[in-house]
Amino acid sequence: MLTFTIAVLVLLFILFKLMLVVPMREVVVIERLGKFRTVLQPGFHFLIPFLDRAAYRHDTREQVLDVPTQSCISKDNTQLEVDGLVYLKVMDGRLASYGIEDYRRAAVNLAQTTMRSEIGKLTLSETFAEREKLNESIVREIDVASEPWGIKVLRYEIRNISPSYHVIHTLEKQMEAERQKRAEITLANAEKAATINLSEGERQEAINLSEGEKQKRINEAIGTGQEIAIVAKAKAEGMAKVSEALSKNGGNDAMNMLLKEQFIKQVGDILDNTQVSVIPTEIAKVEGFFQGMDQVSATMNKQGGQG
């Protein structure tokens, strides 16, 4: 009975070694007598017991490896603490098994050294502004170096970039100074605009006043000219009427009477407004003056009639 049991166990062991089921997410590297034979893809496979063995199993899914935090020095000698994530996938099971001892640890170490090298090419501000470009550079460098390992680096993501406390304090002061600078520039521009607007207003006001004064003088000149023209026209019309009146019968007598009245009135005004008594010494000359005026009027009337 014991012998039968042992035989069954040995048979089961042989059957276990004979059959191999590879899951969908894996590939299995088979060695025969310690030498690489093949890479088994997902599915059911038969092996030669005691000769073939499953030496390595590799996950063919995309793997995410954590890159620990490390200290880096930027181009402007700023110390930074940087960590990230690297995404890779096994493409060749044979190279992943025999090309390197541990491709996961190698990928992480290579990511760290490449990240230090790439950050050393950038300034502090560039590491924040060109984060995507930095990730692409790291992926490119790691992918070239890891090609003999049978893996493909799909992408790299920088998770945190943490400057030291001193650097953060300096950056805060710099940003505060920058904000103050922008505020002063804004105030200066506003003051400049206000000064320009004020000067433009004063200039426009002076132009308006000048135009107003010019128009006023033009209007006054026009008014004066019109006044002179109206007075001259009125005088001309008055002289015409006087001449017309003198040409009629009794016109000379009326003119003489009017002149005598005006003369007497003006002499009376002079006597009223002066403290010295003024009496013409040659009263007879007054009568001669009016007689002369009569003769002048008669001569003018004759000449007018002949014309």
Q: Average pLDDT in the 168-190 region? A: 85
Which pLDDT belongs to residue 13? 66
Q: Average pLDDT in the 184-192 region? A: 90
Q: What is the DSSP letter of 273?
A: H
Give residue-wise pLDDT tens across range 98-120.
988 888 999 899 888 888 888 88
Cα–Cα distance, 282 to 293 (Å, whole number): 18
- Partnered with residue 187 across adjacent β-strands are none
Which pLDDT belongs to residue 307? 46
| C-beta contacts of 34-40 below 8 A and 24+ residues apart | 36/94, 36/97, 36/98, 39/93, 39/94
Share of the chain above pLDDT 70, in %: 77
Q: Average pLDDT in the 129-152 region? A: 86
Question: Reading across the β-sheet that carries 151-163, which strands appear in turn?
Answer: 63-73, 79-90, 151-163
Give residue-wise pLDDT tens across range 156-174.
888 888 887 777 777 778 8
Pinpoint the alpha helices (H) of the chain. 2-18, 93-98, 103-119, 124-129, 131-146, 165-246, 251-273, 283-306
Distances (CA, A) of 137 to 65, 160, 248, 290: 18, 17, 125, 128
Give residue-wise pLDDT tens across range 252-285.
666 666 666 777 777 667 766 666 555 555 544 5
pLDDT band at residue 295 under the 50/70/90 scheme: low
Amino acid in the structure at residue 167: V
Which pLDDT belongs to residue 284? 47
Q: Average pLDDT in the 24-35 region? A: 88
Cα–Cα distance, 274 to 266 (Å, whole number): 12
Which pLDDT belongs to residue 87? 92
Look at residue 121 and give its three-state secondary structure.
Answer: coil
Say yes or no to pLDDT of 237 above 70: yes
- Partnered with residue 54 across adjacent β-strands are 30
